Structure 1
Amino acid sequence: MKPTITIEYCPKCGWMLRSAWMAQELLTTFTDDLHGVLLHPSEISGRFSVEIDGQKIFDRKVEGRFPEIKELKQLVRDVVNPEKPLGHSDKK
């Protein structure tokens, strides 16, 4: 079964639009590789994290920042389809 990405975000911080944009980018890039992207409003203030089938790949509190979309695509690719080229988003 294809993996599901969960983006947990703080609705009180106004991060829903950022989360929706990231979900759109991931769904566009990984059309054939994902089951879907779930947006999950957090009950914990300040939370922004990204998981793939329960495996956390990014946590804003740990990193001290939000992921750049290029970085997030690379992190997702490394888990769901390591051989997939990302064009201009690929690591140099």
Structure 2
Amino acid sequence: MTETLITETKRTVSIEYCPKCGWLLRSAYMSQELLTTFSTDLEGVLLKPSETSGTFSVRLDDEVIFDRKREGRFPEIKELKQLIRDRVNPGKSLGHSDR
């Protein structure tokens, strides 16, 4: 008798940032927050230095979910968690971040 394992494909977040602008620490902080909140929902978070100055964008797989240039600002961590939660685990409570 053979068992069939059904595995759920976990999603990957990529944060592309401008190293010349000094945005590595901001990117690392956001990745730590996302990995802590979505430890069982995400495959991982990739930090990607950009060759284009001023870049700060967040992707979930191939979907851009936040772009600093488009929005004219950086994302708040609460907002970023909500955007990711709505796509990877809509029923997940974010506690105080939901208020």
Q: How does the TM-score come out when normalised to structure 1?
A: 0.97
Residue type of the alignment partner of 1:32:
T
**Structure 1 position 43 matched with structure 2 position 51:** yes
Q: Which of the residues 68, 80, 85 maps onto 1:72?
A: 80
Report the equivalent of 2:21. Answer: 13
**Structure 1 position 28 matched with structure 2 position 29:** no
Report the equivalent of 1:63. Answer: 71
**Structure 1 position 88 matched with structure 2 position 80:** no
Gaps of 5+ in 2: 1-8
Q: In percent, how many aligned pairs have the same letter?
A: 74
User: Matched residue pairs, number?
Assistant: 91
For 1:2 and 1:13, the matched residues in 2 are separated by: 31
Local SS of the residue matching 2:22: coil
Gaps of 5+ in 1: none
Q: How does the TM-score come out when normalised to structure 2?
A: 0.90
For 1:83 and 1:45, the matched residues in 2 are separated by: 37
- 1:42 deviates by 0.4
- 1:32 deviates by 0.4
After superposing on structure 2, the runs of 4+ consecutive aligned residues of structure 1 that deviate more than 4 Å are: none
